[in-house]
Chain A
Amino acid sequence: MSAPAKEKAVTGIEQLEAEAIHVLREVAGEFDRPALLFSGGKDSTVLVHLAVRAFAPVAPPFTLVHVDTGHNFPEVLQFRDDIVERFGLRLHVAEVQDWIDRGAVQERQDGMRNPLQTVPLLDTITDEKFDAVIGGGRRDEERSRAKERIFSVRDSFGRWDPRRQRVELWNLYNGMHSPGEHVRVFPISNWTELDVWRYVEARDIELPSLYFAHQREVYLRDGMWLTAGQWGGPGDDEETVEKTVRYRTVGDGSCTGAVESDAATVADIIAEIKASRLTERGASRADDRMSEAAMEDRKREGYF
């Protein structure tokens, strides 16, 4: 690898990568037990790649954590395990089903399990004594996320209080917290969906096949194409049809919708996002539609 010339223009992607690496190294330096939330989705996969690059040639000093709703796509779980093995990382899985079985959380009427992740996540943070939890949240995802700091202190109940956020100046991140509190850290805060895909292209990052156009049996519910699965669908009055689709986000199968798309390569996807008139969450997340402040309310409770 040759050295960059002094006059070389630094592109947006390189600046965003440098910022994320700086943040990840600050976490490693400031905290005793940092964890990185990894679901196998594109944002957290990019985070893992950034972490590997930030500490190369040494392994990143983060435990990976996945809160598995039990409604995940099998190919995503396989992908998650492959990544963990390829980079020689540690993975801690919290199964939401265990919390349901113990009666610590209740299955919802609508079958959605995304909102059920909060308690298992907070319990895991407490039990494993994690003092920093790194996530792939981006400020462009949603209006209340746009207000999130890169280092975000949570109280001992895991709550986010938007009115009491710390100032965040220059690149001096303040990770101080009291016992029982922890800090959520968002190294790719300033990335957009398009930046993530440009990075995936630039660094040749592998992602679950679900992100690329494929044939799939789906049914329509509340204007979204859902995949049949153990999460309760299709209902008696819902008809299954075969469509060419892909996923823009991969979360809980009960509330993550597929979009009709022929985009089969990263380049196709970049072209598609540039032309898209829908945000990633608007297009594919049913849980954000529950109310105008759905995300803010869940974040206040400790959700990501």
Chain B
Amino acid sequence: MTSDLLRLVTAGSVDDGKSTLVGRLLYDTKSVLSDQIDAVLRSSEERGLDNPDLSLLVDGLRAEREQGITIDVAYRYFATAKRTFVLADTPGHVHYLRNTVTGASTADHAVLLTDARKGVLEQTRRHLAVMAMLGVPGITLAVNKLDLVDFDQATYESVRDEFVSHAESLGFRSDQITTVPMSALAGDNVVSRSDRTPWYDGPTLLEHLETVRPDERGCDVGLRVPVQYVLRDTDYRAYAGQVAAGSVRPGDEVVVLPAGARSTVTEVGTPDGPVDEATAGQPVALTLADDLPVSRGDLIAAADRVPELAAEVTATVCWLAEEPLRPGARVLLKHGTRVTKCRVPSLNARFDEQQLVLERDPECLELNDIGQVRLEVADALPFDTYTDCVATGAFLLINPDGGDTLAAGQVGDTLSAVTGDG
């Protein structure tokens, strides 16, 4: 799918200048308007700063301004003549990794920042692991604060090489990785080319983001439509949902899961009326030839490419709750539009994202840990693996007591590519 809208996620360590970079992107693309600039000038002055603090453009919460750090993911919008961007600006602090996961789950491209003086840090490796696990289709490393090392080519190249090698170990191909030397504070190579890096002939960050064509996230599984809602009128009954994968035409044979009943699509309704074909991403209302008991939570799938129903699966999870995950935990699992009771009988491995190895049979998964688990669900569900199809391979684990989301989950073993296990 080609698109003029690119969803970005930014990530980096505390104090690597990420808010400044985002402020700079907004400022230099003229996406910041004068009343917002006035507010920043006013706040900077009240804080006794000599120069306006561009990070104030993005740190919106009281606590963030008080502490001078970013706590929660914020969404920013900017546009150039070539493209519109939705940017998920995520916090650098390790405690808030869950917000990086939030931003990365829908991103077409990730921008990671590092301070040129510090190189690839523990947090950079952790963020890269999250991007690799979630299958973010492309990454750019912004080697920032180059003004503080006199725009030294050797420094940039050593950070670049270390990053590229680490990213490749995590399964990224070299054509998915870009690195840009920059100073966000001074504006070098962010939007405009810098004459202080004559040794660099690549694109500026913005030029790259305007032209990058991220791989489409894998989805070669045939038709998948999770049923969201049943549309009913006197003599009309249709199943509303978004085409998650594949395409659908009138006359297509489908199967409704988990029940397994087969039927034929008689009409592909859309907000603009019936169409000859609808493809992934489009909202549809499907009418079937047979009167079947279809309801929210069901999955309509291509009859010739049916996902496997499974009551037990191996999955990769990123644990996002303060309370650790231990074997035997009882949770809820949300897959597509269905919520099912779920048990975690065993933890297979914990991923050490610094050493890129799996630690077998861990006692628990703590906040921000990525690990491999076994899951048992009360009702067998039509799973695809995450690498085959994000929409039907992703799930949430939910706390049955407060309703909070506990984990980002993926069906299958998305870690083996990283560790070389298998």
Binding site for B on A (CB under 8 A): 1-4, 6-7, 9-12, 15-18, 21-22, 25-26, 28-29, 53-58, 139-140, 142-144, 146-147, 153, 162-163, 165-172, 174, 176-178, 189-190, 192, 194, 276-279, 282-283, 292-293, 296
Q: Is the CB of A178 within 8 A of B229?
A: no
Q: Which of chain B's residues have a CB closer than 8 A to the CB of A178?
A: 402-403
Q: List 29 A-B contacts (CB under 8 A).
A: A1-B272, A2-B275, A3-B275, A3-B276, A4-B277, A6-B247, A6-B277, A16-B5, A21-B283, A22-B242, A54-B283, A56-B271, A57-B269, A143-B74, A144-B61, A167-B99, A167-B408, A168-B405, A169-B101, A169-B105, A170-B106, A172-B394, A172-B396, A176-B398, A176-B404, A190-B77, A192-B77, A282-B35, A296-B62
Give 11 new A-B contacts, CB below 8 A, not counting A171-B391, A194-B79, A276-B33: A4-B282, A18-B242, A26-B228, A29-B229, A143-B60, A144-B60, A146-B60, A169-B101, A172-B336, A178-B403, A292-B43
Q: Is B36 an interface residue (CB 8 A)?
A: yes
Least distance between A182 CB and chain B CB atoms (Å): 12
CA A170 to CA B160, docked complex, whole Å:
30
Residue of A21, A166, A282 touching B36 (CB-CB under 8 A): A282
Q: Which of chain B's residues have a CB closer than 8 A to the CB of A22?
A: 228, 242, 283
CA A29 to CA B239, docked complex, whole Å:
12
Least distance between A255 CB and chain B CB atoms (Å): 16
* Given A15-B281, A169-B405: A296 touches B1 (CB 8 Å cut-off): no
The interface size of chain B toward A, counting residues with CB under 8 Å, comes to: 76
Residue of B35, B60, B77, B228 touching A25 (CB-CB under 8 A): B228
Q: Which residue of B lies closest to A15 (CB)?
A: B5
Q: Which of chain B's residues have a CB closer than 8 A to the CB of A26?
A: 228, 337
Q: Which of chain B's residues have a CB closer than 8 A to the CB of A56?
A: 269, 271, 285
Pick the 3 closest A-B CB pairs, nearest first: A143-B60, A176-B403, A282-B35
CA A22 to CA B336, docked complex, whole Å:
12
Binding site for A on B (CB under 8 A): 1-5, 33-36, 39, 43, 58-63, 65, 71-77, 79, 84, 86, 98-99, 101-102, 105-106, 228-229, 231-233, 236, 240-242, 247, 269-279, 281-283, 285, 296, 320, 332, 334, 336-337, 390-391, 394-396, 398, 402-405, 408
CA A29 to CA B230, docked complex, whole Å:
8
Q: Which residue of A lies closest to B100 (CB)?
A: A167
Q: Which residue of B lies closest to A153 (CB)?
A: B403
CA A58 to CA B296, docked complex, whole Å:
17
Which of the listed residues A28, A29, A192, A296 has the most CB atoms from chain B within 10 Å of its own CB?
A: A29
Least distance between A218 CB and chain B CB atoms (Å): 20
Least distance between B366 CB and chain A CB atoms (Å): 16
CA A56 to CA B337, docked complex, whole Å:
20
Q: Which of chain A's residues have a CB closer than 8 A to the CB of B279?
A: 4, 6
Q: Which of chain B's residues have a CB closer than 8 A to the CB of A278?
A: 33-35
Q: Is the CB of A12 within 8 A of B33?
A: no
CA A171 to CA B65, docked complex, whole Å:
30
Least distance between A20 CB and chain B CB atoms (Å): 9
What does DSSP make chain A's interface, helix, strand, loop or mixed? Answer: loop
Q: Which of chain A's residues have a CB closer than 8 A to the CB of B277?
A: 3-4, 6
Least distance between A153 CB and chain B CB atoms (Å): 7
Q: Which of chain B's residues have a CB closer than 8 A to the CB of A277?
A: 33-34
* Given A143-B60, A144-B61: A29 touches B102 (CB 8 Å cut-off): no
Least distance between B126 CB and chain A CB atoms (Å): 16
Q: Which of chain A's residues have a CB closer than 8 A to the CB of B229?
A: 25, 28-29, 55
Least distance between B56 CB and chain A CB atoms (Å): 9
Q: Which of chain B's residues have a CB closer than 8 A to the CB of A176?
A: 332, 398, 402-404
Least distance between B33 CB and chain A CB atoms (Å): 5
Q: Is the CB of A172 within 8 A of B334?
A: yes
Which of the listed residues A6, A167, A279 has the most CB atoms from chain B within 10 Å of its own CB?
A: A167
Q: Which of chain A's residues have a CB closer than 8 A to the CB of B71?
A: 162-163
Q: Is the CB of A162 within 8 A of B39?
A: no
CA A54 to CA B282, docked complex, whole Å:
11
Residue of A18, A146, A171, A190 touching B282 (CB-CB under 8 A): A18
Residue of B72, B273, B337, B402 touching A29 (CB-CB under 8 A): B337
Q: Which of chain B's residues have a CB closer than 8 A to the CB of A153?
A: 403
Q: Which residue of A lies closest to B61 (CB)?
A: A162
Q: Which of chain B's residues have a CB closer than 8 A to the CB of A177?
A: 403
CA A279 to CA B391, docked complex, whole Å:
36
Residue of A167, A276, A282 touching B320 (CB-CB under 8 A): A167
Which of the listed residues A25, A142, A282 has the most CB atoms from chain B within 10 Å of its own CB?
A: A25
* Given A25-B283, A172-B396: A167 touches B273 (CB 8 Å cut-off): no
Q: Which of chain B's residues have a CB closer than 8 A to the CB of A171?
A: 106, 242, 391
Q: Which of chain A's residues have a CB closer than 8 A to the CB of B236?
A: 57-58
Q: Which of chain B's residues have a CB closer than 8 A to the CB of A57?
A: 231, 233, 236, 269
Q: Which residue of B lies closest to A139 (CB)?
A: B75
